[in-house]
Amino acid sequence: MEEYLIYHDGVPCGTVRLEKQGLYTAFSAVCGARPGRLYSLFLEGEGGSVLLGVPEWRDGCFVLRRTMANRAWESVGTLRCARLQPRAEEEGERAAGSAEAGWMRLAHPEYFFHRLAPELSGGACYWKPLGEGRCLAVPIDDGKPFLLARYFCFAKVVRLWGKPYAVFWFDENDCPRVL
């Protein structure tokens, strides 16, 4: 098992551990930063950087658990550290009382779960914390396949930004719950 520091604004704020398991590597990161914001966690190496994912707020700190294929991250070369970077806030935030309040756009929705979900890539998905879990809003487009069909029975259809979205609630272990 290897361990590297996570830096936020040039200051160490946590650690990321990695454990190689054959063709895959399990990553586990814990770091402190300002709550209520959305961050991206990047691995930094001699050959560049790669997005590890979006940590979630849990028990007073940001946490990320992820398994990646070695070929997906080894292009950065020898690892030096990890970097926590705030994500740009959603343009045109809605009023606090609107249905859209609290939703944050996912730049890479395929990394929403602890395991890669390629069926979500490219979708205009949003998320927000809810209790001990988090909600995911997936667009419903006429003529296109329903994203996350395996969770269809857990969806609650709502209108956000004038369009229909399927909203799901997942607990901290990525298990779907009824809203």
Look at residue 97 in the predicted model and tell me its pLDDT: 46
The tens-digit pLDDT sequence of the chain (179 residues) is: 999 999 988 889 999 999 999 999 999 999 988 777 778 899 999 988 898 988 988 888 899 999 999 998 988 999 999 999 887 543 334 344 456 778 888 888 888 888 888 888 777 888 888 877 899 999 887 677 888 888 888 888 888 888 888 899 998 888 888 87
Look at residue 66 in the predicted model and tell me its pLDDT: 92
Look at residue 94 in the predicted model and tell me its pLDDT: 37
- 8-38 burial, b at 16+ Cβ within 10 Å, e below that, comes to beeeebbebebeeeeeebebbbbbebeeeeb
Is the pTM of the predicted complex or chain greater than 0.85? Answer: no
Element at 30 (helix H, strand E): strand 24-31
Look at residue 44 in the predicted model and tell me its pLDDT: 93
Look at residue 98 in the predicted model and tell me its pLDDT: 54
Q: In 3-state terms, what secondary structure has residue 64?
A: strand
Look at residue 6 in the predicted model and tell me its pLDDT: 93
